[in-house]
Amino acid sequence: MLERPPPTTSPDNIKGNASNATRELLCNPAAFFQGRYERNVPPFGNDILTKAIVTEASIVSKREDELKKEAIVVIELEVTEGESSIILV
């Protein structure tokens, strides 16, 4: 089992009623994606990452829209093999 990287942000800094998966993604994106790969479960209902071994992931930018109650998060992934492109909205 791979060791989980340290969180990049604190769960206390995540506003709203975010799901546990969303909190995990925003707090520790590398562990979120690596954990999904280890269990062979695609994180968003598709197979984009099932053939990728994620070695590093970090939040590149985050923009929150308080009026619409949504956020756009750009995450950069580094993989050792497989497809490395993913878009999250």
pLDDT tens for residues 14-33? 555 556 666 666 676 666 66
Distance CA(89)–CA(81), nearest Å, equals 24
User: Tokens in use for 25?
Assistant: 């993604």
pLDDT tens for residues 43-55? 554 444 444 555 5
Evaluated on CA atoms 3, 52, 35, 18, the torsion sign reads positive
Neighbours of 39 (CB within 10 A): 8
DSSP 49: T
